[in-house]
């Protein structure tokens, strides 16, 4: 197994892009949440729920990217091929369900991990 030295950075940059897009798309509901004091501000608002899930998923992508970088750089551990397959399958399914989305960005990342393992 080769060390996939770019995989962590690719995932981290995906997370940054994801959250920048989220802040732009969900600016209005996020602004409304701030105006009412943030605490318990989601309620039954679909827009606010979507904003929070979208942004927290971006943070999760960042965690995954940091873990991948730690594995490859700090520990010298190769990322298992199944991780690439999981990213690829999730991204392909997401792109089929939601073609106008960022799922396309993760497809090459999954392929990269599969080919480099």
For the stretch 91-102, pLDDT in tens is: 999 999 999 999
pLDDT at position 5 is: 80
User: Is residue 35 domain-resident?
Assistant: yes
| CA 61 – CA 12 distance, rounded (Å) | 7
pLDDT at position 4 is: 78
User: Is residue 1 domain-resident?
Assistant: no
User: Is residue 110 domain-resident?
Assistant: yes
Q: Is the pLDDT of residue 77 over 60?
A: yes
User: Is residue 17 domain-resident?
Assistant: yes
pLDDT digits (tens, 9 = 90+) for 33-60: 999 999 999 989 999 999 999 999 999 9
pLDDT at position 2 is: 60
User: Is residue 2 domain-resident?
Assistant: no
Domain range enclosing 81: 7-116
User: Is residue 86 domain-resident?
Assistant: yes
pLDDT at position 116 is: 81
Number of independent structural domains in the chain: 1
User: Is residue 92 domain-resident?
Assistant: yes
């Amino acid at each position: 197994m080769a060390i996939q030295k770019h995989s962590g950075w690719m995932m981290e940059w995906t997370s940054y892009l994801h959250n920048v897009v989220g802040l732009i798309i969900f600016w209005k509901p996020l602004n409304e949440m701030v105006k009412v004091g943030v605490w318990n501000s989601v309620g039954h608002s679909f827009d606010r729920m979507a904003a929070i899930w979208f942004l927290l998923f971006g943070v999760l992508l960042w965690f995954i990217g940091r873990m991948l970088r730690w594995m490859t750089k700090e520990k010298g551990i190769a990322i298992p091929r199944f991780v690439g397959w999981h990213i690829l399958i999730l991204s392909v399914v997401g792109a089929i369900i939601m073609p106008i989305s960022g799922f396309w960005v993760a497809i090459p990342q999954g392929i990269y991990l599969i080919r480099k393992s």
